[in-house]
C-alpha cells in the first residue's frame, strides 16, 4: 500500500522539472554545446546552452524529471568527446506544470 501511495504522490506532483547548470573544465572549443544540443534532442528535453566569458558552459534543462536526471548525468559525466569535465553545478531545481522553453538551442 505504501508503494502505491508513493506512486500516486509522484503522479499528482508537477509533470516537469527544470534545472540550471554550469559546467567547469575544458568545455569550450570542444563542441560541448553542439553535443549538449544533440543529447537534449535525443532525450526530448528543452532548454538552452551557452559559453560564458569565464570559460564555463551554462544553460537550463526542462522536461520529465527522469529525462532531466539523465541529462544531468550526461552533463556531469559524459559531455563531448574532447571535453574534460571537472565539475558540474546544478541550481534552481524546481517542479513546473508546463514547459517554459520550446526546443533546445545554443544561445550567444
Active site residues: 33, 51
Q: CB atoms < 10 A from the CB of 39, how many?
A: 19
- Grid cell locating 50: 551557452
Contact 49, 37 (CB under 8 A): yes
Amino acid at each position: 500500500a505504501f508503494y502505491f501511495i508513493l506512486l500516486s504522490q509522484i503522479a499528482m506532483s508537477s509533470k516537469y522539472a527544470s534545472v540550471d547548470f554550469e559546467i567547469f573544465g575544458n568545455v569550450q572549443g570542444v563542441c560541448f554545446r553542439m553535443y549538449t544540443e544533440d543529447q537534449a534532442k535525443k532525450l526530448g528535453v528543452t532548454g538552452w546552452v551557452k559559453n560564458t566569458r569565464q570559460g564555463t558552459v551554462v544553460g537550463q534543462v526542462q522536461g520529465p524529471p527522469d529525462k532531466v536526471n539523465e541529462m544531468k548525468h550526461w552533463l556531469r559525466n559524459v559531455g563531448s568527446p574532447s571535453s574534460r569535465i571537472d565539475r558540474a553545478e546544478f541550481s534552481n531545481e524546481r517542479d513546473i506544470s508546463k514547459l517554459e522553453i520550446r526546443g533546445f538551442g545554443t544561445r550567444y
